[in-house]
Amino acid sequence: MLAHQQRYDVDKPSSTDCKDSVEMRRATVAFAKETAPCNSDIPLEPGVSVATREHSAGHRIVTLTVSNPAKLNIVNSTILKQLIEACQALSDDSDLRAVVLTGGQTIAGKQPSFIGGADITEMHQLSSSIEARSFIERIHLACKAIRDLPIPVIARMHGFCLGAGLEIAAACDMRVATKSSVFGMPEVKVGIPSVVEAALLPGLIGMGRTRRLLYLAENIDAATAERWGLVEKVVPDQQGLDQVVDSWCGMLAGMGPKAVRSQKRLMQKWENSTVDEGVRAGVEAFAEAFADGGSEPRAFMSKFSDRKR
């Protein structure tokens, strides 16, 4: 049931080795078949929408939808600002169990897209290092806002996931994609390096594959992305996406809420620490779980200790 829906409206902005080319052509054909029909219900103005549903009592799931239907859901400064604001507003919701980040439906004639990248028109107008720094900081701050959410964020991906879109996806905790999705970092093709949260990619796919993705600006298909570790699961279609997302959200809602939040903080600590520092942080996290006498762990452990054997 949809309990709450809000839309942030914004102003219009002023492969796998030798099989790559074949697979990419197949993906393009698949996109053509899945192109959204003309639908008067699609808001044409770019924006970020927030939809909240009650999974069960005291357990909320939120879906954030990035929508720029005429332009493959690319992000501009205003959309990034709205994404940051939406994430920050959600951070204080103690009943929130998961956030799903997805791309909106595109208009007829446009291929499906999670987030097709950053707005090249806006970047083309940058004329100084000060302006460039301000623009790229907004992409970083949007990724940081996603990473700062205290609960897991699931990227629900269908279609193009390129450049800033892949950086945003990398900022999420888990990723599921349709088999026709396409991933790439094409920045060097337009004369700029891949930056900010592209720094997360080596932790996901290794430095060698990151170099291949960034230096060669190759696009890879979903099967390759899954094999590399860029996505956790690939499904046939959008119905499959919804099934996986519902399953994962249901599992998260059934876990210890404080434990999941603690786990997210700890895993982010692991990203930026030595093994010894990570182990010590884990000891502290475990101890903290019992700071109030262990109400949550004791309640959840009792389900196992009290069961009939």
pLDDT tens digits, 168-224: 999 999 999 999 999 999 999 999 999 999 999 999 999 999 999 999 999 999 999
Region 9-19: mean pLDDT is 38
Least confident of 44-48, 148-152, 214-218, 240-244: 44-48
At 12, the pLDDT band (50, 70, 90 cuts) reads: very low
Stretch 69-90: mean pLDDT, rounded? Answer: 96
Residues counted in the chain? 309
What's the Cα-to-Cα distance from 190 to each of 74, 120, 164, 168, rounded to whole Å? 16, 9, 13, 19
Q: Are 187 and 163 in contact (CB under 8 A)?
A: yes
Task: State how far the Cα of 71 lies from the Cα of 81, in Å rounded to an integer.
Answer: 18
Residue 106 · residue 47 · CB < 8 Å: no
Q: Where are any strands of DSSP class E within the chain? A: 2-9, 47-56, 59-67, 96-103, 113-115, 153-157, 160-162, 174-178, 182-184, 219-221, 233-235
Q: Quick one: pLDDT band at residue 306, thresholds 50, 70, 90? A: low
- Asked if residue 128 has pLDDT above 70, the reply is yes
pLDDT for 302: 86
Q: Give, in degrees to the nearest 5, the angle at Cα 59 between 233 and 161.
A: 30
Sorted by sequence, the CB contacts under 8 Å of residue 244 that are 6+ apart come out as 176, 233, 235
Q: Is the pLDDT of residue 4 over 80?
A: no
Return all residues near 36 (Cβ < 8 A) that are at least 6 apart.
42, 69, 105, 106, 107, 108, 110, 112
Taking Cα atoms as reference points, which of 282, 283, 288, 278 lies closest to residue 258?
288
Q: Among candidates 75, 74, 65, which has minimal Cα distance to 42?
A: 65
Asked whether the predicted pLDDT for residue 37 surpasses 60, the reply is: no
Average pLDDT of the chain is 87
Angle between helical axes of 257-271 and 295-305 (0-180°, round to 10)? 110
Share of the chain above pLDDT 70, in %: 84
If pLDDT is split at 50, 70 and 90, which confidence band does 303 have?
Answer: confident
Cβ–Cβ < 8 Å for 156, 100: yes
What DSSP character marks residue 104?
Answer: P
**Shortest CA distance to 96 belongs to which of 53, 64, 143?**
53
Give 139's pLDDT tier (boundaries 50, 70, 90): very high
Contact 90, 99 (CB under 8 A): yes
Res. 54: pLDDT tops 60: yes
Kindly indicate the confidence band of residue 41, based on its pLDDT and cuts at 50, 70 and 90.
Answer: low
Is the pLDDT confidence value at 62 over 80?
yes
Instruction: Report the alpha-carbon distance of residue 2 to residue 242 in Å, rounded.
Output: 15
pLDDT grade, residue 121 (50/70/90)?
A: very high
For range 15-36, the mean pLDDT? 39
Which one has a higher pLDDT value, 88 or 4?
88
Average pLDDT over residues 147-175: 98
State yes or no: pLDDT of 33 exceeds 70. Answer: no
Between CA 108 and CA 110, with CA 109 as vertex, the angle to 5 degrees is: 95
| Spatial distance between the Cα atoms of 123 and 11, rounded to a whole number of angstroms | 17
